[in-house]
Structure 1
Amino acid sequence: MDLHGVTALEPAGPVLDGAAALQPGDVWLAGGTWLFSEPQPGVRRLLDLTCLGWEPVVVDDDGDLRVSATCTIEQLTSWASATEDTPSLIAQCADAFLAGWKVQGVATVGGNLVTALPAAPMVSLLASLDGVVELWTLGAGAGPAAGLRRRYLPVAELVTGDHVTALAPGELVREVVVPASSLAARTAFRRATLTPLGRSASLVVGRLDGSGELVVTVTAATQAPLQLRWPSSSLGSADAAADAVEAAVDGAVDFSEPRRTWHDDVHGHPAWRRAMALAQVREVVQELLEETP
C-alpha cells in the first residue's frame, strides 16, 4: 500500500529528545505491517522508532522479562527457543499470527498491541502473563522543557475495544514488562478458528501461579481482553472449579459496556464465540487444577 499523503520519513529520536515537536499527522513507525496494509489518509509524517536501537528482549536482575516495542515477533520467538524454561505460551501465541516468516521478521510486539485487534496474539500473550506497558507521552512543544512523561498500564487495560486503546494522542509504547512470577507459572492454552488457517475467533489462556492464584484470560472472542482471577484453593475440585469459572466468565460479559461484549465479524458469530470460549475456559481450568500436585 502506497501512503500517498506521507510527505516525510524521519527518525523518531529528535522528537523524543525535544529537538523537534510532534506535528498533526505524525505517526510512530515500527514494523509498519499494519500501517502499510491499508490507506492512512490522515498520516503526513512517519517517525521511525527502529532507529533508536532498543534492545529487543532483556531479562532484568529481578528475573522480569522486558520486551521493547520494536522487538519483532521473530526476535521474541528466537529468544524463547534459545532460552531454557521459557513458557511454551510464547510460541503458541506467535503461531496464532498465521503470518509467514517475512511478516514475523518485521511485525513488532508494540505494533501488534496498539493495533488492538481482538485477535491480536501479542495482546493474548502479554495480557495473560500480566504484562505492564511503559507508555511515553511528550510534553507540549519542543526543547528540553517539553520532556517525556511515563505512565504504566496493564496490557489487559491498554486494549479497550476493536482497534481502540487507552493511548492518549501522540503516546507510544516503550516496552512491556512481564513479571518473573508469570513466566514461572504453569499455563494452559486453547484457540479456536472457523478454518484451519483462519484468524483466532476465541483464545483462552489459563495460568496457575506459584502463589496458587488461578488467572483466566479470554481474548479474540471478546472486543477486549477479559481477565478474571481466583485463589485456586477456594474453587474446590477441578470440575467444580470449571463450573464456577465458566459461570463467572459468562457473567462478566456486559452488553452495556462495548469492550465486554462477544465479538462479531466474519471470523465467527458471537453465539459461537461464546460457546467456544466457555468450553475452552472449562478445559484450561480442568487441565491446570487436575495436574496440581
Structure 2
Amino acid sequence: MDLSFVTQISAPRSRDDLPAPEPGTAYLAGGTWLYSEPQPTITRLVDLATLDWPAITVHDDELELAATCTIENLCDAPLPAEWVAKSLFRPCAESLVASWKIWHTATVGGNLALALPAGAMITLCCALDAEALVWAPDGGERRVPVDRFVTGAGRTTLGAGELIRSIHLPAAALRGRTSLRKIAYSPLGRSGALLVGRVGSDGFTLTVTASTIRPFVLRFPAPPDPGLLSRSLSEQISVDDYLTDAHGAADWRRHVTGVLAEEIRRELE
C-alpha cells in the first residue's frame, strides 16, 4: 500500500537525530501493518531501522530485545539452554498466522505498539514479565511492565512523541516451565483466545490474551486448584472485558478461556 499522504521521511542515526514530535508523525519499524491499509493522517515517517539497534542482547539477568527486533530474529536467536521458556517464542509467532515474509519484517516493538488483542508478542512478553523501555521526546525514559503498557484494544500508555526503545525479559521468568493454548474459529484464523501459563521461582502465572480487550496476568504462589482458578478468572476479568468481533463472540471467548486455563493448570500442576 502506497502511503500517498507522506511528504517526509526521517532517517535518524542517533537519539539526538530524532525529530521533534508533531501531528501526522508515525514511527516506522517493520511497517507490515503501516503499509497494509491507507493512512491518510500520516504525513511523516521516522524510520527506526536506521538507528541500527542490536536486535538481541543476552545479559546475565535478562534478555534485551530492540523494538526493531524482527519475529524471525527472535525465533532463531541462540539463547542459554537454561532459559527453557524460549520454547514459547515460535508458538507465539505462529499464533500471528503470518507468512515467513512477515516474520522477516514485522517487529516485536511494532506488535506491542499496535496493541491488538491478538498481538502474540504481547502475549509472550506478558507471560515472561517483560518490561518495555520507553523513550520520551524530552530525553527521558521509563520502564513499564508490558501487561500495564497495553491498556485496551489499540491503546497503550505511549504519549505524544514517545517510542519503544527495547523490551526486557528477566532471566528468572525465562527459566520457568511454560504451557500455551490457543483457539480460533478456524485452524488458520486469528486467535480467539491465547493463554500462557508459567511455573517458576515466583509461583504460577496465567496470562490471558486475545479473548480480552487487554492482557490479564493472574498470579498465584503455587499452581491453584480448579476452583480457585475458576473463581480468580471470574473475579479478575469482568464480563465486559471479553471481546466480541468477527473472530469470536464474548460469551464463547469467556467459556473457552476457562477451558484452556484449566488445561494449562493441569499440565503445569
Same structural fold, with TM-score higher than 0.5 when normalized by the shorter chain = yes
Q: Secondary structure at the match of 1:36?
A: coil
Q: Distance in 1 between matches of 2:7 and 2:41?
A: 11
Deviation, 1:20, is 4.2
Q: Partner of 2:35: helix, strand, or coil?
A: helix
1:80-108 CA-partner distances (Å, limit 9, x unpaired): 5x753442111110111111101110000
Residue 232 (structure 1) aligns with: 222
Matched-pair contact (CA < 8 Å) for 1:3–1:36: yes
Superimposed CA distance per residue, residues 208-250 of structure 1 (whole angstroms, 9 cap, x where no aligned partner): 1124x111110000000011101117x4xxxxx1221122112
When the two structures are superposed, what TM-score results if normalisation uses the length of structure 2? 0.95
Partner in structure 2 of residue 56 of structure 1: 55
Q: Does 1:157 align with 2:137?
A: no
Equivalent residue letter for 2:97: L
Over 3 Å counting, the alpha-carbon distance change for 1:179 and 1:243 in structure 2 is same
Map 1:58-137 → 2, pairs under 5 A: 58-62=57-61, 64-79=62-77, 84-85=81-82, 86-87=84-85, 88-137=87-136
| Alignment-mate amino acid for residue 28 of structure 2 | L
CA distance in 2, matches of 1:27, 1:20: 11
Aligned with residue 205 of structure 2, among 170, 193, 215: 215
8 A Cα contact 1:136 1:173, kept in partner: yes
Q: Does the CA contact (< 8 Å) of 1:12 and 1:28 recur in 2? A: no
User: For the aligned residues, what is the CA RMSD?
Assistant: 1.6
Contact kept, 8 Å, 1:192 with 1:202, in 2: the verdict is yes
Pair 1:279 & 2:226 matched: no
% same residue: 40
Confirm whether residue 188 of structure 1 aligns to residue 186 of structure 2: no
Measure the CA separation in 1 of the matches of 2:228 and 2:75.
34
Aligned residue in 2 for 1:28:
27
Question: Is the 2:20–2:161 contact (alpha carbons within 8 Å) kept by the matching residues of 1?
Answer: no
- Look up the match of 1:251: 235
Q: Matched residues in 2 for 1:286 and 1:184: separation? A: 20
Deviant stretches of 4+, over 3 Å: 82-86
Post-superposition shift, 1:48? 0.5
SS at match of 1:105: helix
Go from structure 1 to structure 2 and tell me whether the alpha carbon gap of 1:184 and 1:47 turns closer, same or farther (over 3 Å shift).
same
Displacement, 1:39?
1.4
Name 2:249's counterpart in structure 1: 269
Amino acid across the alignment from 1:246 = S
Distance 1:22 1:252 in 2: 37
Partners of 1:263 and 1:2 in 2: CA distance = 31
Aligned length: 267
Shift of 1:169: 1.1
CA distance in 2, matches of 1:192, 1:45: 38
CA contact (8 A) 2:196 2:206 kept: yes
Counterparts of 2:198 and 2:234, CA distance in 1: 18
Q: Secondary structure at the match of 2:166?
A: strand
Whose radius of gyration is greater, 1 or 2? 1
Provide the rounded CA distance (Å) in 1 between the counterparts of 2:57 and 2:226. Answer: 36
Counterpart amino acid of residue 243 in structure 2: H
SS state at 1:138 partner: coil
Letter in 2 for 1:11: A
Match of 1:7 in 2: 7
Q: Say if 2:55 and 2:66, in contact at 8 Å, map to a contact too.
A: yes
TM-superposed CA distance for 1:254, in Å, is 2.9
5+ unaligned residues in a row in structure 1: which ranges?
Answer: 140-147, 236-240
